Amino acid sequence: MTGRILVAGIGNIFLGDDGFGSEVVRRADIPAEGAEVRVIDYGIRGMHLAYDLLEGWDTLILVDAVPNRGNPGALHVFQADHDWRSDPAALDAHHMDPAAVFANLRALGGTPPYTVVVGCEAGSVEEGMGLSEPVAKAVPRAARAVEEIVAALRTPSAPQVIREEC
């Protein structure tokens, strides 16, 4: 698979581990070749991401904290399910909800691109800056995963579905 790739770090850096996506995109070493690959820390700017997705991206890589299933710091890499339904008005100025982003994108007349999520189970999303120790330790692995996904997507014979647990 080749084409334009948008790497989006999302999350609120003022809510502990929710800032995971922002930290990963700051650390990932992704060669930006022309307009083919763009890496952006969106933070909590969901509407900005929805508008940027109108630019015709072939692939979106979302980097975000995911709910804790009992193993803070565990990484999960999977293809997003775009059947999420959410109210386009559900955007919150202090929180980024991918379902609301995709709902707003649809309301604007766009279609979500093929989307891969690189998620880390959060330990704490309480008010405060800084990642918990297990989530901070996952950042280099997640940055490598994003780098590898971008490299794989840049090859003509890349798979359409990426599923992995790290």
Which residues make Cβ contacts (< 8 Å) with residue 144, sequence separation at least 6? none
Q: How many CB atoms lie within 10 A of CB 78?
A: 16
Say what the pLDDT of residue 157 is: 64
Supply the pTM of this predicted model.
Answer: 0.86
Is residue 32 predicted with pLDDT exceeding 70?
A: no
Averaged pLDDT of the chain: 86
Give the Å distances, CA to CA, from 51 to 48, 88, 124. 5, 13, 30
Contact 57, 113 (CB under 8 A): yes
Type of residue at 142: A
Domains in the chain (CATH in brackets) are 5-154 (3.40.50.1450)
Instruction: Assign 89 a pLDDT band (cuts: 50, 70, 90).
Output: low
Compute φ and ψ for 63, nearest 5 degrees.
-115, 120
| Residue 80: predicted pLDDT | 87
Phi (first) and psi of residue 16, to 5 degrees: 55, -120
How far is the C-alpha of 106 from the C-alpha of 88, rounded, in Å? 8
> What pLDDT is recorded for position 22?
95
What pLDDT does residue 162 have?
47
* Least confident stretch, 13-17, 47-51, 100-104: 100-104
pLDDT one-digit tens code per residue, 109-124? 999 999 999 999 999 9
pLDDT of residue 91: 52
